[in-house]
Structure 1
Amino acid sequence: MVSVDQVLSTLSLVIDPDLKKSIVSMGMIKDIEINGSELKFTLELTTPACPFNDEIEQDVRKAIASIKEVSKLDLKVTAKVMEGRSLSVDQMLPTVKNIIGVASGKGGVGKTTVSVNLALALAKTGAKVGLLDADIYGPSVPLMLGMNKAAMEVDNNKLQPVDSHGIKVVSFGFFAEQAHQAAIYRGPIISGILKQFLVDTNWSDLDYLIVDLPPGTGDIPLTLAQTIPITGIVVVTTPQDVASNIAVKAFGMFQKLNIPIMGVIENMSYFTCPKCTEKHYIFGKDGAKRMSEKHELQFLGGIPLNPGIMEGSDSGRPVLVSDPNSTMSQSFMAVAKNVAARCSVLASQLSDEMKDAAAN
């Protein structure tokens, strides 16, 4: 009869492609049961959005198939998102496993569109997701989600997020009196509003909190960085060199604050002609990829330029809601899985650092 040690020894040869570690050492194998030649256990992946989940599962099945003593495998596959930030030192948001800031060096690159669809894509994988619209000066998330008439309530002195398509949303745009007024506030007031949205909101248990930051390197990104531990920052840019050059300033600020840069997303990468299906690189080609390589950053993927994405944002029905099987939606799903994978890598590094600190 096969033994538990034999099963674990065999499975230890299966390596997570992102983490570069054995799935056994990462604690992904749970609840092993052996009944004669029948084997049962759970494979607990690090995130439901990992791009290699199917590959890992197949590798596990192949590994077990090599054990002659096993005639039947009952494999249950689940996922538990890893904590990519120091929850032990964060008394304000202890139930949010990962906080991902979405930044850009300049406006007009589609950062909020990316933020909204990134949140929806992660939620579609089964993760619990929140979206904080931190662009106090120009909150557009409610418009993009068709939530113009929504309002936030207060319960037990906590702001209650508004649910939309499976994600929890907080935005300054929900306050009706701001609908047709320009937000004119000085830095300290802006910082206070953001802190309240972060710490005085009932976010409940979240795997990922996406924070849509205003463009540039002003008060709000600094406040976010200095208020709570952050998993990392995603930078959105377009292929043009001018956009990429300005994006460098955005991630440069976060690097100075010792916040990990998770990678770069290139929006408006190309346009596919509906008649000839040929790709046209209207704003240049591979600008974000070149920037990523130059600064040793992860390239998280490109989003095509498509009227459907713009129309979905304007109508309040993002493309992941209106056309989930389209190539546009699939590009957002691919980017979201890469972001989730980066979260798992950073979480693994954080875990190793904490273990080293405890050992010393």
Structure 2
Amino acid sequence: MYQDYRIFAISSRLSTLKLIIPVIGPKGGVGKSTISSMVSLGLSDKSIATGLLDLDITNPTLHIILGIDVKSIKLEEVNGIKPLKLTENLEFISPSFFTEDKALPLRGKDIVNVIRELLAIVNWNSIVLVIDTPPGFSDEVLELLFLIYNVNPYILRPLLVTNQSILSLVSIKRILHLIRKEITPLGIICNMCNNDDYIQDISRIYNIDNLGYIPFINDIEKIIGDSKALLKYSTSYLNILINKILNIIRLRDVNEDIYNK
């Protein structure tokens, strides 16, 4: 019977993490990539060893948001691939590092293979891993949730991102309906919203944390590529989310045996 050796490697790589946060959204354009960047910058600024992974295999953009020229990157190999060190507490991997930002037209099984390869070869030196995912419940998202859940369901806490569009709100309910029996979300956040009214009912009905809202940022295009500006917005709008993550990490430090089964 065929066994994919990468599954065992993935288990070894991910089992050292205390928390994995896939950032999931039902539609394109809700701000998953920007929020993934802001969350990872905010955590690293709190001296939390944080990894950031762009898992939008066919259309990665985190390196653009963070202002990284992928053609100048030379990754080191030490017991696997060492992520790019962005700050003292933040490391990053993107598929673009391996493709030099060229198009990667993959589908189905090929995408699954790329995901398994990335997760198997990257040697993270972090305790929290934030993962930017493509829209909806694509192959990337389904495979990712399956792999992490089978390593340790306790460390898997997806962050759900929506905006105030009825299309996005309906779709986020579908995602919650699918995952809520097996997976506990970190919470839900409303992006480009004037308030959190749009997610209050979802939070109550599905019994998940309302992590607040981020207003529409008029000059968002001007801060693309500027990690310092992104950190400033993270500090302004993501305090509830960052503090919840810090509390989870503290709890797991105290009850380490429970989460390392």
Q: TM-score, normalised by structure 1?
A: 0.61
Change (3 A) 1:268 1:344: farther
| 1:332 aligns to 2:238 (yes or no) | yes
| 1:188 aligns to 2:109 (yes or no) | yes
| 1:135 aligns to 2:56 (yes or no) | yes
| Structure 1: gaps of 5 or more residues | 1-88, 271-280, 356-360
Which structure has the larger Rg over C-alpha atoms? 1
Q: Compare relative contact order (CA 8 Å, sep 6+) and give the higher one, 1 or 2.
A: 2
Correspondence for 1:215 among 131, 135, 148: 135
Change (3 A) 1:198 1:208: same
> Number of residue pairs matched?
245
| Structure 2: gaps of 5 or more residues | 1-9
Note the C-alpha offset of 1:94.
Answer: 3.2
In structure 2, distance between residues paired with 1:300 and 1:97:
20
More helix by share: 2
1:161 aligned partner: 83
CA RMSD across the alignment: 2.7
Query: What does residue range 202-281 of structure 1 map to in structure 2 within 5 Å?
Result: 202-204=123-125, 206-228=126-148, 229=152, 230-255=155-180, 258-270=182-194
In structure 1, distance between residues paired with 2:249 and 2:18:
10
Change (3 A) 1:226 1:176: closer
In structure 2, distance between residues paired with 1:125 and 1:353:
22
Q: TM-score, normalised by structure 2?
A: 0.82
Residue 127 of structure 1 aligns to a residue in which SS?
A: coil
Query: What does residue range 286-301 of structure 1 map to in structure 2 within 5 Å?
Result: 286-301=197-212
- C-alpha contact 2:13 2:123 (8 A) present in aligned 1: no
Correspondence for 1:117 among 21, 30, 38: 38
1:252-274 residue CA offsets vs partner (Å, 9 max, x unmatched): 33335x2211110111122xxxx
2:97 aligned partner: 174
- C-alpha contact 1:145 1:317 (8 A) present in aligned 2: yes
Note the C-alpha offset of 1:307.
Answer: 2.3
- C-alpha contact 1:96 1:209 (8 A) present in aligned 2: yes
Change (3 A) 1:296 1:174: same
1:292-314 residue CA offsets vs partner (Å, 9 max, x unmatched): 1121111112112112434212x
Correspondence for 1:322 among 229, 242, 245: 229
Note the C-alpha offset of 1:110.
Answer: 0.4
Residue 155 of structure 1 aligns to a residue in which SS?
A: coil
More strand by share: 1
- C-alpha contact 1:269 1:302 (8 A) present in aligned 2: yes
Residue 147 of structure 1 aligns to a residue in which SS?
A: coil
In structure 2, distance between residues paired with 1:353 and 1:164:
28
Greater Cα offset, 247-256 or 161-170: 247-256
